[in-house]
A = this chain, B = another copy of it.
């Protein structure tokens, strides 16, 4: 298998149900990725190690999903020079507002590129879009992807109008 250039990490295996959407997008675009569990709170050294070494291992973008007091994306971003995309995962209370604010409200100096609550698919697309800065073939695929979305909507509109 090709060497992964996107790292997908999540705080718990219970987040896999959501985070697999990011992986599926990357597969669709032919972007090699790795996917694993890295918990900021239960495996802080592992998180450190992951974030510190990711770019040296060839990772170019990190996608991190977490819920509640979601520290994984922000802590990863504090350590790596890579762009970090954060996916707020809706937990059992507060409708995901805690996850969203814990990820997006980062202080000056350490950004996390936050997407919508539970929207790991968009995290995958954002990773593709970031990589397309470097890899022109991904930009072509993104333009085609948008065109396909457009066609899909127009097809549904026609079905509805008929």
Give chain A's interface residues, CB within 8 Å of chain B.
Answer: 11-13, 16, 34-46, 48, 55, 60-61, 67-69, 71, 74-75, 77-79, 81-83, 85, 90-98, 100-119, 121-123, 125-126, 129-134, 139, 142-143, 146, 149-150, 152-154, 156-157, 160-161
Contact = CB atoms under 8 A, between A and B. Distances in A.
A141 to B, nearest CB: 9
A152 B87 CA distance: 23
Given A102-B69, A102-B102, A108 B81 contact: no
A162 B77 CA distance: 26
Given A119-B111, A134-B133, A160 B16 contact: yes
A151 to B, nearest CB: 9
